[in-house]
Structure 1
């Protein structure tokens, strides 16, 4: 990308920020019910714009700027809610153990980050492939047991499991 087009993209993001940041923060505050979270996610929206493919920030962006920003922000809200759900589930598990065995705040943060990455990775799988993977990995079921449970052949279950493992491998190692 040329220096000129990079500068143009930066100008577009600057214009969007100047003209729509307050509106976006207000929209997010109404959606989330929390001014601090709204401010954070509004800021994250513009960070996402800056770090995104510069070709995405074009004059098309300026024709419907609020719809464009709302789409990005909405994705961040979904990610935020997913993260909160994961955190609540993790904390519920922690509360079932003696507090003396709890990890530190830093360790909890890292664990929740890892759980969120796993959830995103699994979320990209087809539902039945994800179900097979979770039955094998979390419940320790064999392929014949899974096949009986979901009403598919063992060969199909093996294929789904291979797809899930391949998907995880590609996301982890980039291949």
Structure 2
């Protein structure tokens, strides 16, 4: 889409988009931010709509995806803050440092969510839970070779995802 097309969609649907998001999020400020994000996404896409209603339909799909991302991020932020409360020594960091850590966790979560179940489970068991290959193989009733294979697939897929979406 060129800038004029997005501008037409913006004028025609911005208020509707903010209202839609405000209803889903129960927060006008967050809705305004996500509405802006939706139109920014349109600027980055090479799309054509046959009508303004086609654009509105696409915007509603973007709104749904943005809400899911928003809620997932909030859940991650909450879990992160709760985990800090359980540390034996108080952890102090400024807001920027917290946001950097949360951004990294969100990116890792995005990558993990795209892995098939067995591969994801194996990767988490080894890399996060600290289980050995033998422990994972025994727990999941698979061979050690399968554990190694799943880990290799996880690393390959996550690397490809990171490169495709520039998540460095």
The reply to whether residue 156 of structure 1 matches residue 146 of structure 2 is: yes
C-alpha displacement at 1:145, in angstroms?
Answer: 1.2
Which among 16, 21, 25 is matched to residue 28 of structure 1? 21
Partner of residue 40, structure 1? 33
Which among 120, 136, 143 is matched to residue 130 of structure 1? 120
Q: State the alpha-carbon separation in 1 of the partners of residues 85 and 96 from structure 2.
A: 17
Partner of residue 166, structure 1? 156
The number of equivalent residue pairs is 164
Q: Which has the higher helix share?
A: 1
8 Å CA contact 2:84, 2:90 repeated in 1 = no
Report the CA distance shift for 1:42/1:128 in structure 2 as closer, same or farther (over 3 A): same
C-alpha displacement at 1:63, in angstroms?
Answer: 4.5
8 Å CA contact 1:61, 1:68 repeated in 2 = no
TM-score, normalised to structure 2's length?
A: 0.89
C-alpha displacement at 1:172, in angstroms?
Answer: 4.0
Report the CA distance shift for 1:61/1:116 in structure 2 as closer, same or farther (over 3 A): farther
CA deviations 1:12-67 (Å, max 9, x no partner) are 21111010110111011111111111111111100111122x2x2x1346342221
The reply to whether residue 92 of structure 1 matches residue 82 of structure 2 is: yes
Unaligned stretches of 5+ residues in structure 1: 1-7
Which among 104, 126, 140 is matched to residue 114 of structure 1? 104
